[in-house]
Amino acid sequence: MKNKQHSKPRLLWLQSISCNGNAHSFLNHPDLFSILSHFELVYHPILETKHTLQDILKCETECDILIIEGSLKEKGLMKAGVEVSSVIKHYASIATHIISAGTCATFGGMFKQYDPEHITGFCFDGEVQTTRYEQYAQKLISLPGCPIHPKWLGFVLMMIVQNRPIAKDSLHRPLELYAPTVHTGCARNEYFEWKVDTEGFGLKEGCLFYELGCQGPYTHGSCNKILWNDISSKTIAGTPCFGCTEPDFPKTTLFETETRMGIPATMPLGIPRRAYLTVTGVVKSFRIKRFEERLISYDD
Amino acid sequence: MKIADKKALKRESIIQTALQLFSTNGFHKTTIPDIAAKLGMSVGNLYNYFSSKDLLAQEIIRYTSEVLGEKIKEVNMLDVSAEEKVHKIVEIYFSMAKEKPEMIEYFLRVYLSNREVFSDGCEGMVCVSGFITEIMIFFDDAVSSGELRNQDFFSAFGLFMGYLGGMVFLKGEGVLPKDIACYIDDISRNIYYALKA
């Protein structure tokens, strides 16, 4: 990973078509500087680094770990007169690890919507492998999320530093982070089990799956195991999971559950429809008084 | 035959005999000794299988729901249009009303008319989920393929099953001038046109 002159792996953070969201999100890591102390930060779009962007665009800098942020466009995205995709390809070929940080860099994400035919992720276009895949797959780690969870990136960087193996799924997402669904650990699971809908956004009570579009039961991610800002998550706060770690993100109706005759169009991950409907029909037959009440009653 | 298999067979014969008697003579007028006598078994032995008449009644509704659900499941597995499926489901329901009238009669005249018997153990959809699940799958597939209009489940379910139940009830009352099978085509068409996209 590093040559003898460099005691620390060299980390390069490059942006393509990006909103800066992932770079900003990583700044929220409480141990950011402790993590970064294990690396030589070659370039980062926000933090002060040894090299400038102009230096990097010359493609003469060494790097061990490449973090890519943003969607890719093969031609037409220039920075200082240089085609960004060619710069990324150069560093991708010399790096020992490539991390696609965020959904745009991984699958195309939000920016893909602008020009779905030409804008993609680095190695995936949605869930389809791009032509780059074969060349870089061996060293690719996908960290989708809109934005990326700072602790997921911190985890992967530290695993790399410690030279520990990272088990991945078929889209190269680390299983440790993406094997569970966002539903796992959700504070509303009791309401899901008993099929009790929430009555609105932001309430403590009720499940967001039935009416308000929550994609937690079929979205891979550990948002409810590794909380955001160490405090909360979308679903805990009362906003539906938008499925932002998946190749088909973003869908169009994020606050509405698509149903067919009242039946959710997408089943919880791996659950056969017949099994789900049987359980739902039975469970919905019971009224549990505790779940019909507010958790906290405030006197007027 | 293993003892467990023998017991399962006996259990089913109790269910079928009780189903017959409850449907014909009414739930309250049928006693456990009546059922035991018809089966040629002792009352005590029958209690080994079902500890109360209410539990037996609940098991029967589960059983009939499963039987009907299995038949609709076969329809759901077919690669045919929703219109054809509606026709097949109506056919199944009316054939059952004709050939095994006790099953539908039990649902209409025992299950729906003696709710207190089913209030503890058969709440809501608990004992009829085998049947309801398959109807849900039929609707889901038909909306997904664009053949039926998307709407609330119960508004569609009520139209479909309420209609069929009503016709079988009229048959049971002996007021239908024609054999119930004569109504299959018209009723299937009515249901399909009412629900289609």
B182 vs A: CB within 8 A: no
Tens of pLDDT, residue by residue over B124-143, are 888 899 999 999 999 999 99
- Could you tell me if A148 and A195 lie in one domain? no
Q: Which amino acid is at A179?
A: A
Per cent of chain A over pLDDT 90 is: 93
pLDDT tens, residue by residue, B31-42: 999 999 999 999
Contact pairs from chain A to chain B, CB under 8 Å: 54
Q: Amino acid identity of A91?
A: Y
Output B192 or B100, whichever has higher pLDDT: B192
* pLDDT confidence band for A1 (50 / 70 / 90): low
In a domain, A247, yes or no: yes
pLDDT of residue B115: 86
Average pLDDT on B153-161 reads 95
Q: Which of B118, B136, B140 is nearest to B127 (CA)?
A: B118
The answer to whether the Cβ–Cβ distance between A261 and B126 falls below 8 Å is no
A152 & A285 share domain: no
Can you state the angle between helices B82-99 and B184-195, rounded to 10 degrees?
140
A278 at B interface, C-beta within 8 A: yes
Q: Does B195 touch chain A (CB under 8 A)?
A: no
Distance from the B133 Cα atom to the nearest Cα atom in chain A, whole angstroms? 6
Same domain, A98 and A190: no
Instruction: Give yes or no: residues A200 and A246 share one domain.
Output: yes
Q: Does residue A1 fall inside a structural domain?
A: no
Query: Between residues B108 and A1, which one has the greater pLDDT?
Result: B108
Please check whether residues A218 and A107 belong to one and the same domain.
Answer: no
Cβ-Cβ contacts under 8 Å, B130 against chain A: 278
The amino acid at residue A123 is: C
Packing angle between helix B53-77 and helix B82-99, nearest 10 degrees?
140
Q: Is the pLDDT of residue B5 over 90?
A: no
Residues in chain A closer than 8 A to B69 (CB atoms):
none
CB A14 within 8 A of CB A22: no
CB contact under 8 A, A261 and B123: no
Query: Does the beta-carbon distance from A263 to B144 stay under 8 Å?
Result: no
How many whole angstroms from its chain centre is CA B14?
17
Six-digit token pair at A34? 């402790």
Report the SS3 class of residue A270.
Answer: coil
How many of the other CB atoms lie within 10 Å of CB of A27?
11
Residue among B142, B109, B6, B128 nearest B59 (CA) = B128
Would you say residue A298 lies in a domain?
no
Task: Give the whole-angstrom CA distance, residue B15 versus residue B59.
Answer: 7
Question: Does A265 sit within 8 Å of B148, measured CB to CB?
Answer: no
Could you tell me the CATH superfamily of domain B58-195? Tetracycline Repressor, domain 2 (1.10.357.10)
Task: Give the 3-state secondary structure of residue A67.
Answer: strand
**Token couple for B125:** 């959809």
Nearest to A144 by CA among A105, A197, A200: A105
Parallel, antiparallel, or unpaired: how do β-strands A119-120 and A140-143 relate?
A: unpaired
Separation between Cα atoms, residue A269 and residue A272, nearest integer Å: 9
pLDDT at B195 over 60: yes
Same domain for A278 and A150, yes or no, is no
Q: For residues A93, A95, A97 and A102, what is the CA-based torsion angle, rounded to 10 degrees? A: -80
Q: How far is B134 from chain A (nearest CA, A)?
A: 8
Q: What is the ipTM, given to two decimal places?
A: 0.83
DSSP letter at A200? S
Cross-chain residue pair B126–A282, CB shorter than 8 Å: yes
Residues A78 and A138 in one domain: yes
Mark which of A157, A177, A197 sits at the end of a domain.
A177
Angle at B134 between CA B128 and CA B140, to 5 degrees: 130
The CATH number assigned to the domain holding A200 equals 4.10.480.10
Mean pLDDT value across residues A233-244: 97
Assign residue A22 the CATH number of its domain. Answer: 3.40.50.700
Segment A176-204 mean pLDDT: 96
| A104 and A223 share one domain | no
Residue type present at position A247: P
Average pLDDT of chain B? Answer: 93
> Is the Cβ of B159 closer than 8 Å to some Cβ of chain A?
no
Structure tokens at A180: 């569970």
- A232 strand-pairing partners: A228
| Residue A104, burial from CB neighbour count under 10 angstroms (0-12, 13-18, 19+) | buried
Closest residue to A278, CB basis, from B129, B139, B153: B129
Contact A263 B132 (CB under 8 A): no
Examine the pLDDT at B172 and tell me if it is beyond 60.
Answer: yes
Domain that holds residue A261: 180-293
My answer on whether A86 and A129 are in the same domain is: yes
> Does pLDDT of A5 surpass 80?
no
What six digits make up the tokens of B162? 């309420």
Query: Which residues of chain A make contact with B152, given a CB cutoff of 8 A?
Result: 261-262
Mean of per-residue pLDDT scores for chain A:
95
Per-residue pLDDT, averaged over A181-202, amounts to: 95
Rounded to whole angstroms, the Cα distance separating B122 from B159 reads: 23
Domain final position from A177, A198, A224: A177
Per-residue pLDDT band at A179 (split at 50, 70, 90): very high
Q: Give me the number of domains chain A comprises.
A: 2
Contact residues for B25 (Cβ-Cβ < 8 A; gap 6+): B34
Tell me if chain B has a CB within 8 Å of the CB of A52.
no
CA distance B101 to chain A (A): 26
**A125's tokens:** 């276009």
User: What is d(CA A110, CA B196) in angstroms, rounded to the nearest whole number?
Assistant: 36
Confidence class for position B104, pLDDT limits 50, 70, 90: confident
Q: Give the residue on A whose Cα is nearest the Cα of B152.
A: A261
Question: Which candidate in B122, B133, B150 is best for mutational testing of the A interface (most A CBs within 10 A)?
Answer: B133
Return the SS3 of A225: coil
A272 touches chain B (CB under 8 A): no
In a domain, A3, yes or no: no
Which residues lie closer than 8 Å to A73 by C-beta, 6 or more apart? Answer: A16, A17, A84, A85, A115, A118, A119, A120
> B176 exposed, middle or buried (CB, 10 Å; 0-12, 13-18, 19+)?
middle
Contact B129 A282 (CB under 8 A): yes
Q: What is the CA radius of gyration of chain B?
A: 18
Residues A114 and A63 both lie in one domain: yes
Per DSSP, the three-state class of B77 is helix
DSSP one-letter code for B148: B
Cα B76–B81–B84 angle (5° rounding)? 80
In angstroms, the CA B51 to CA A240 distance is 47
**B148 near A CB under 8 A:** yes
Cβ separation A274–B154 shorter than 8 A? no
Nearest CB neighbour to A260, from listed B125, B150, B154: B150
A162 and A226 in a single domain? The answer is: no
**How confident is the model at residue A300, as a pLDDT?**
58
> Strands A124-125 and A128-129: what pairing?
antiparallel
Do A91 and A160 belong together in one domain?
yes
Name the residue among A55, A66, A62 with its Cα closest to residue A100: A66
pLDDT bracket for residue A38 (50, 70, 90):
very high
Residue A300 inside a domain? The answer is no
Q: Which residue of B has its CA nearest to A267?
A: B140
Q: Do A281 and B150 touch (CB under 8 A)?
A: no
The whole-number average pLDDT for the span A129-157 is 97
Q: Which of A177, A204, A238 is the last residue in one of the domains?
A: A177
Residue A281's pLDDT band (boundaries 50, 70, 90)? confident
Contact A262 B154 (CB under 8 A): yes
Q: Which of A95-99, A103-107, A272-276, B101-105 has the lowest mean pLDDT?
A: B101-105
The answer to whether position A56 is within a domain reads yes
Q: Which of A261, A262, A281 sits opposite B133 (nearest CB)?
A: A281
